[in-house]
Structure 1
């Protein structure tokens, strides 16, 4: 946009050709459903296929993801900032220091894997609490699902169904959440949606 600030630009993205409009178009297109990001995500990542259901959540008509991201998280920032800082500090110490908390001598690190682990852990801390966010099996499942879901996006494959099984494998580990769902649902006044969790924590 430096040379032509008021003109759209087109480029080849990872999964499709993308057109980026200048900021001045924001108000004009904000309510145009033809340019819905959530609908694009559902279509691009095939939310109707087994194993890709999370890409359907944002387009199921309930606006749960949008509400949590734009309203509930913002409203409860004062209650989640400290836990996030605490978990980030603890995770970084575990990833980048030795067992005593002292810096390790200079060495190569798999930065991509470490960042993925950090994101999985702090996001789990916000939405699932301390117990699950430090469960190595749960963290492995969430990290693997993220990698497989984006890596097996059918738009990037010559045969959409060849790798569907790989993307469905992590879903077999849903049993990890069963004890937490059962316990939470039996709690008086518990509201089984994300914003309910935020309101209670």
Structure 2
């Protein structure tokens, strides 16, 4: 064992030495240029914020590199966003980068490499149909809240992470699968537990070199569980998919669940994309993305509202104004939620302070490409951007240290800015959802889902932190930021 450990240690030293001197793009170094790679990886795991801040501060307008235990990444400044945003997959692939970054072959995420059906379904069917999806989402949320939330008129402690997880899972499932599958406890378990175990697996694997991931995956219980949940999803969904396919072949309408993501995927799937097992697998992966994004954002916002309770009344007044115009939320459509500009601003500011990841705009270069200033991006290079550093640069966000929930609301009051600065809009310097034609296609659904949930939580309940306690601290692993799972808030049903 000592010989094996010595071998890996020497290989790490040699690789690090070679990388430091063979490239013209600067490598972010620690105090010792001979520091072993696994130590660099551990430092990034423990404190990615400091690593990325050091790199961005040292190289604010030029490309630089840093080492993770499992790979090395080339970090680009945002000035290259417009130049890169429309590059085709044949030159710079975001899909390959996402699969690679999520250790796809070991986390069941490589299904996204088989086709872009999930991307097309979200972009071509789900987003254009958001207006008709508002009421089913509200209906499912009402059902979920009756089951999941206490209605006591005295202060009651809850752990929002787990409560919001259930709400988001139920609302997402209603749109992705329809009734009755969305209320199947087995599916709710699959969609939530697959997400949790996939991230556990990813966090652990990231601590080791890439060539060890497949071996280590055999010994990780979280990896076994993720694979098991994919298999369970196939057993649950494949019979339903086959039933719908058979009904479609006979020109029959299988049921009322035609406006669901599953039905839309089946509708636009090419011949080679119609395998029921693959469709079931994609549903699990899309649920991971939806639950991960919406749940974390909603929990962060609740924590922020409890920390800054002075903003609750302005948000309630805005909601009541929309109710006066459009009736109760049971009749709201997408446009009603669009009117909640203060809430949207609060959501965006909360995300700025608590982004889901410190890195985004991932691409893997499929061929050499020379940027306009002569910077060479070599084939095989994994490029990314330090999105949190970019959006919190003082030239982008004045006074970034302050939590100013209505800063984007004020910006939207300026001439010509009414449709800008929204939670779901992307900009060259606001890249949490990416930018350009490969930006996250589900971001508009996520925005509507979060608003749907928050409106009811804000209007139906009062919120506060436990006496003498501050906002629960975020948890970090590598570049990922998670709301505290054990954080407690006190809630009390309002007398309306």
- TM-score w.r.t. length of structure 1: 0.73
Change (3 A) 1:157 1:22: closer
Aligned residue number for residue 218 of structure 2? 161
**What is the aligned counterpart of 2:83 among 24, 28, 43?**
28
Count of paired positions = 191
Aligned residue number for residue 151 of structure 1? 200
Q: CA deviation at 1:104?
A: 5.3
**1:143-176 residue CA offsets vs partner (Å, 9 max, x unmatched):** 1111111111263355333113232222342322
Q: Would you say 1:177 and 2:237 are equivalent positions?
A: yes
Structure 1: any 5+ residue segments left out of the alignment? Answer: none
**1:63-117 residue CA offsets vs partner (Å, 9 max, x unmatched):** 11221222211211122121112212332332223xxxx3453222121112222
Change (3 A) 1:135 1:29: same
- Which segment drifts farther, 3-12 or 87-96? 3-12
Q: CA deviation at 1:197?
A: 6.0
**What is the aligned counterpart of 2:98 among 24, 41, 50?**
41
Aligned residue number for residue 130 of structure 1? 179
In the aligned structure 2, how far is the partner of 1:47 from the partner of 1:36?
Answer: 15
Give the match's secondary structure for 1:130. coil
Q: CA deviation at 1:193?
A: 5.8
Give the match's secondary structure for 1:177. helix
**What is the aligned counterpart of 2:120 among 59, 62, 67?**
67
Equivalent residues in 2 for 1:3-152 (5 A)?
21=76, 23-30=78-85, 31=87, 33=89, 35-49=92-106, 52-53=107-108, 55-60=109-114, 62-97=115-150, 102-103=151-152, 105-152=154-201
Which of the two has higher C-alpha Rg?
Answer: 2
Structure with greater strand percent? 2
Aligned partners of 1:76 and 1:198 also within 8 Å? no
In the aligned structure 2, how far is the partner of 1:187 from the partner of 1:111?
Answer: 41
Higher RCO structure, 1 or 2 (CA under 8 Å, sep 6+): 2
Change (3 A) 1:138 1:148: same
Structure 2: any 5+ residue segments left out of the alignment? Answer: 1-52, 209-215, 269-496
In the aligned structure 2, how far is the partner of 1:67 from the partner of 1:40?
Answer: 18
Aligned partners of 1:57 and 1:65 also within 8 Å? no
Aligned partners of 1:84 and 1:122 also within 8 Å? yes
